[in-house]
Amino acid sequence: MSRAARLLQLLEHLRAHRRPVLGADLARASGVSLRTLYRDIGTLREQGAQIEGDPGVGYVLRPGFTLPPLMFSEDELEALVLGARWVAAHAADGELAAAAQGVMNRITTTLPAELRLAVETSGLFVPARADAQPVAPWLPALRQAIRDEHALWLDYRDEADRATRRRVWPFAMAFFDHARLIAAWCELRQDFRSFRADRVVALEATGQRYPERRHVLLQRWRAGCLNVHPAGQAADRS
């Protein structure tokens, strides 16, 4: 087993336990000596793993840790590069574009020199669209509301140019080629509705959590409430 594979396996052992695991038990599960196990723990910590504990006490991986970049294959790295470049070029969200660049900067600074060069000189590009979506200043507020499960006041113009103001519970946003679609529960219609992002006039945060959890809304929505025509055109239901 390669060292990289062994480190990955060690992370998986730690991830499977919520309580500290003795170094001897981790070493036995990994098939290495206790001394090697301590070195591996140190390596993972250097790579950013939030591993708490000490010899004789045990070790536990703090929740939320993601695998360090050294675990990515070349194909996975290329997928990350391509995805980050797409977000930067097509998301119409300055904060999200900056975050995508930040992700790539963080990854490249921790990669071995050979892989770092491969990322920096990647031949995978995402050309800007001639009909690129205009930057929408309210997109960060929308993403935050989805993340926090907060209701929003939405000022919207439908395809007939009728203006409405309504309170919605946003839980998802889809990035189609021809449109950005916001999925939300609409208190006015008492039903799921899809809103095209380019028809949003303004969003206003309420700071109030909506009564259902986002994953529950997603489950109900996936059961049949997402309106997408077979040809891929997003429907405008307001």
Given a cut of 50, whether residue 92 has pLDDT beyond it is: yes
Report the alpha-carbon distance of residue 52 to residue 85 in Å, rounded: 35
Which top CATH class is 139-222? mainly beta
Please give the pLDDT value at position 49. Answer: 84
- Count the Cβ atoms, other than its own, within 10 Å of residue 156: 22
Please compute the mean of the pLDDT values over residues 122-138 and round it to a whole number. 73
Question: Is residue 37 very low, low, confident or very high in pLDDT (cuts 50, 70, 90)?
Answer: very high
The whole-chain average pLDDT of the chain stands at 82
Report the alpha-carbon distance of residue 40 to residue 23 in Å, rounded: 11
Helices (H), 16-148: 23-30, 34-46, 74-90, 94-110, 113-120, 139-148
Spatial strand order in the sheet of 150-157: 191-196, 180-186, 163-175, 150-157, 200-209
Please compute the mean of the pLDDT values over residues 127-131 and round it to a whole number. 70
Report the alpha-carbon distance of residue 40 to residue 35 in Å, rounded: 9
Report the alpha-carbon distance of residue 118 to residue 121 in Å, rounded: 5
Given a cut of 80, whether residue 194 has pLDDT beyond it is: yes
pTM, 2 dp? 0.60
Per DSSP, the chain holds a count of helices (H) and strands (E) of: 8, 7
Please report which helix (H) or strand (E) contains residue 202, including its range: strand 200-209
Kindly indicate whether the domain formed by 3-61 is annotated with CATH number 3.30.70.360.
no
Domain ranges of the chain: 3-61, 72-120, 139-222
Please give the pLDDT value at position 7. Answer: 84
pLDDT in tens, 135-185: 677 888 898 999 999 999 999 998 888 999 999 999 999 887 777 889 999
